[in-house]
């Protein structure tokens, strides 16, 4: 079935370091979304990508929609303690059109050491 695989599963980095995580799928996606979830909160949308090859930035965050449409990556530059959380990639469930029904990866947990 449709699956999103995120790597790494977890990261423990020093404050100020850059972070890179990615998301891959065996099926093609037309939209890639990156969310961040803090403990006890719901996911918050960080970046949305709608076109193969698209590179989009949001402050210190940069995400790219892979050319094959089967992958995406998220980079965080100069990490700070508040970047701690779980990062999820997500995309439309196959066959759901533009309804907004999403499938999520299993998440990358980021911990930042001050």
Please give the size of the binding site for another protein, defined by CB under 8 A: 28
- CA dist 16 and 109 (Å) reads 17
Nearer to another protein, 43 or 66 (CB): 43
Q: Does 40 bind another protein (CB under 8 A)?
A: yes
How far is Cα of residue 95 from the mean position of the Cα atoms in its chain? 21
Here's the x/- map for another protein, 44-83, by CB under 8 A: it reads as xx--x-----------------------------------
Buried b (16+ CB within 10 A) or exposed e, 98-113: eeeebbbbebbbbebe
Residue 90 CB, shortest distance to another protein, in Å, is: 8
- CA dist 41 and 86 (Å) reads 11
Nearer to another protein, 14 or 99 (CB): 99
Nearer to another protein, 54 or 104 (CB): 104
- Binding segment for another protein (CB under 8 A), chosen from 13-21, 56-64, 73-81, 102-110, is 102-110
- The CA-based angle 87-108-74, given to 5 degrees, is 60
Q: Does 1 bind another protein (CB under 8 A)?
A: no
Nearer to another protein, 13 or 48 (CB): 48
Side-chain-side CA neighbours of residue 12 (13 Å): 1
């Amino acid at each position: 079935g449709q699956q999103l695989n995120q790597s790494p599963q977890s990261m423990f980095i020093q404050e100020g370091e850059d972070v890179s995580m990615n998301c891959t799928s065996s099926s093609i996606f037309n939209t890639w979304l990156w969310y961040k979830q803090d403990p006890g909160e719901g996911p918050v949308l960080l970046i949305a990508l709608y076109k193969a090859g698209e590179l989009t930035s949001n402050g210190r965050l940069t995400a790219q929609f892979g050319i094959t449409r089967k992958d995406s990556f998220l980079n965080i530059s100069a990490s700070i303690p508040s970047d701690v959380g779980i990062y999820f990639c997500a995309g439309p469930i196959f066959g759901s059109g533009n309804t907004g029904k999403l499938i999520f990866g299993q998440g990358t947990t980021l911990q930042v050491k001050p």
